Every structure is written in structure tokens, then in C-alpha cells.
Structure 1
């Protein structure tokens, strides 16, 4: 059995930096595995600006 978390992140913009790599590294160190990345918001030109990263990890059945 698995548990899942959904984490919002950004690819950055004109005045902001991308945070997706730091987010993935942080959760990987905590034992989470990357499942999928989904765009959630788009700018006026149709380019994704924000993403939801889905992580999973196995639940201990002890």
C-alpha cells in the first residue's frame, strides 16, 4: 500500500527562480518517490507556470 502527497511548485518567471529541483530533492531525501508532474496554472501565452508534483512512498504494514 502507498501514501501520496501533492506538492505545488513553480518553474519560475521573469522575477522568480524555479523551485522544482529543490522540491524533488527534499522529498526524495525523506523517502518519497516522484510519480508525476502536472501543470496547474498557465500564463497568457499558454505556457505552464505552476506545477503539482506527486510523490508516493510505501506504507509500512508492521
Structure 2
């Protein structure tokens, strides 16, 4: 079973600073795997304002029987 974590990142300074690399490296060091990004906010004329970076981590399913 996988659990997911979503990190919202504003795009105004995101692309010019490579901030995504430090976020991905930070989550990877904690056992998360980067799986993609999802646009979640747009401005006028359709430009992207923010993305969610999506991370997943495998967890063992507990048996309740």
C-alpha cells in the first residue's frame, strides 16, 4: 500500500531557483519517492501559478484479522 504527500510550490520563483531539487532531495532523504507534479492553480490567460509535487512511500498493510 502507498501513501501520498503533496507539496504545493508556487511557480513565480520556482523555475528560476531550482527550488524543486532541494524539495525532492529533502523528501527522498526521508524515504519518499517523487512521482510527478500536478498543476493546481492557474491565473489569467491560463498561466500556472502553483503545482503540487507528489511523493509516495510504501507502507506495510496491517492485518486486522
TM-score range relative to shorter protein:
0.7 to 0.9
1:36 paired residue number: 36
Using a 3 Å threshold, how does the CA distance of structure 1 residues 20 and 49 change in structure 2: closer, same or farther?
farther
1:9 paired residue number: 9
Using a 3 Å threshold, how does the CA distance of structure 1 residues 22 and 45 change in structure 2: closer, same or farther?
farther
Q: Secondary structure at the match of 1:22?
A: helix
Q: Which consecutive unaligned segments of at least 5 residues does structure 1 have?
A: none
Tell me, in whole angstroms, the C-alpha distance in 1 between the residues paired with 2:61 and 2:41. Answer: 37
Q: Which consecutive unaligned segments of at least 5 residues does structure 2 have?
A: none
Rg comparison, structure with higher value: 2
Q: Secondary structure at the match of 2:6?
A: strand
Which of the two has greater helix per residue?
2
Report if the CA contact (8 A) 1:31-1:57 is conserved: yes
Q: How many residues matched? A: 58
| Structure 1 consecutive aligned stretches of length 4 or more whose deviation exceeds 4 Å | none
Quote the RMSD (CA, aligned, Å): 1.9
